[in-house]
């Protein structure tokens, strides 16, 4: 699906690769978090990727989530794309593509590489009919509830083979990041990232962007990361602000309760966009 700005995400990624820049990809969970994200993007006039997981789709329903995202992008006059984050099946990817997503991720990273390749190939073939972007993952990036001690970094030679066999547009790499909060400061294997960039020509994606220092994110961008995912910090700051305000008030009007939490999300996303924006300007 073309965006209101008539550029596919694949084309935008190529532009980012040429500039040595990256896009921020933010998950949203309801109208309030969506608004908070887009107010930040609009204020800084920065493009953004809006992401939905299966659980968020189940919560909002697919038609409502898509229409809300599209309407909000238009209202805030933001260049943006709608992406399925961590799609766990061909069937879900197909539903999202049919509903108008610009991009889908098929995450079979926990399966043997041959199975990962097989299902990814099917999604890539389907997505071509929609002119949509496809992201896949190779290696172990700990999900919520999974051990962050397990090692399973992306191997450059496997990445090259995987990209060649699947024809994907974007590859999420395991270089030391994880989903959720970090118990200690994360250290990305940036040399490994450079090696992966050297043998692949696709957009490289960093999952688990919450909690990683801005300087490290910027260095990762310099070494080929074109998409940085942000989710946990959005949920956390929204709920932290909301709970803090509710403890001090008996207000029951949701239209008065939610705005401070929306503003907190906006401020967070502005900070993250400045990291990407500064990197873009420095190029």
Q: In 10 A of CB 114, how many CB atoms?
A: 8
> Which of 55, 52, 53, 79 has the alpha carbon at shortest distance from 68?
52
Which two structure tokens, joined as six digits, stand for 43? 């204020």
Dihedral (Cα; 193, 198, 201, 203), 10-degree rounding: 20
To the question of whether residue 76 is assigned a binding role by annotation, the answer is no
To the question of whether residue 208 is assigned a binding role by annotation, the answer is yes
Does residue 142 contact residue 150 with C-beta atoms inside 8 Å?
Answer: yes
**Residue 149 catalytic?**
no
To the question of whether residue 167 is assigned a binding role by annotation, the answer is no
Q: Which of 2, 58, 85, 250 is catalytic?
A: 85
**What single string gives the DSSP state of each residue in 160-227?**
HHHHHHH--SEEEE-SS--SS--SS-----HHHHHHHHHH--SEEEE---TT--HHHHHHHHHTTEEE
To the question of whether residue 100 is assigned a binding role by annotation, the answer is no
In the chain, where do the E strands start and end? Answer: 23-27, 48-52, 80-87, 103-106, 133-138, 170-173, 203-206, 225-230
To the question of whether residue 230 is assigned a binding role by annotation, the answer is yes
To the question of whether residue 166 is assigned a binding role by annotation, the answer is no
CA distance 274 to 279: 8
In sequence order, which residues have a C-beta less than 8 Å from that of residue 113 and are 6 or more positions away? 138, 158, 162
To the question of whether residue 107 is assigned a binding role by annotation, the answer is yes
Which two structure tokens, joined as six digits, stand for 244? 């803090």
To the question of whether residue 209 is assigned a binding role by annotation, the answer is yes
To the question of whether residue 231 is assigned a binding role by annotation, the answer is yes
Which two structure tokens, joined as six digits, stand for 258? 């939610």
To the question of whether residue 179 is assigned a binding role by annotation, the answer is yes
To the question of whether residue 180 is assigned a binding role by annotation, the answer is yes
Q: Which parts are annotated binding residues for Zn(2+)? A: 86, 107, 137, 179, 207
Q: Which parts are annotated binding residues for dihydroxyacetone phosphate? A: 180, 208-210, 229-232
List active site positions.
85
């Amino acid at each position: 699906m073309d965006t209101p700005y008539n550029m596919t995400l694949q084309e935008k990624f190529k532009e980012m690769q040429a500039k040595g820049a990256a896009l921020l990809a933010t998950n949203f969970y309801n109208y309030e978090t969506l608004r908070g994200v887009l107010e930040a993007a609009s204020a800084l006039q920065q493009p953004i990727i809006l992401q939905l997981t299966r659980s968020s789709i189940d919560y909002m329903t697919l038609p409502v989530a898509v229409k809300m995202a599209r309407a909000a992008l238009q209202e805030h006059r933001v260049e943006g794309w709608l992406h399925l984050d961590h799609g766990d099946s061909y069937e879900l990817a197909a539903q999202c593509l049919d509903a108008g997503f610009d991009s889908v991720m098929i995450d079979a990273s926990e399966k043997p590489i041959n199975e990962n390749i097989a299902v990814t190939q099917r999604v890539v073939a389907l997505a071509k009919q929609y002119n949509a972007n496809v992201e896949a993952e190779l290696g172990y990036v700990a999900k919520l509830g999974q051990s962050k001690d397990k090692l399973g970094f992306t191997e450059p030679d496997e990445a090259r083979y995987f990209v060649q066999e699947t024809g994907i547009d974007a590859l999420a790499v395991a270089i030391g990041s994880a989903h959720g909060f970090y118990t200690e400061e994360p250290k990305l294997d940036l040399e490994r990232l450079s090696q992966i960039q050297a043998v692949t020509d696709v957009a490289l994606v960093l999952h688990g962007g919450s909690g990683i220092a801005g300087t490290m994110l910027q260095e990762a961008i310099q070494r080929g990361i074109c998409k940085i995912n942000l989710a946990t910090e959005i949920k956390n700051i929204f709920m932290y602000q909301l709970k803090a305000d509710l403890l001090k008030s008996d207000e029951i009007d949701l239209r008065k309760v939610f705005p401070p939490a929306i503003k907190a999300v906006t401020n967070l996303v502005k900070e993250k966009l400045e990291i990407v924006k500064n990197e873009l300007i420095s190029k």
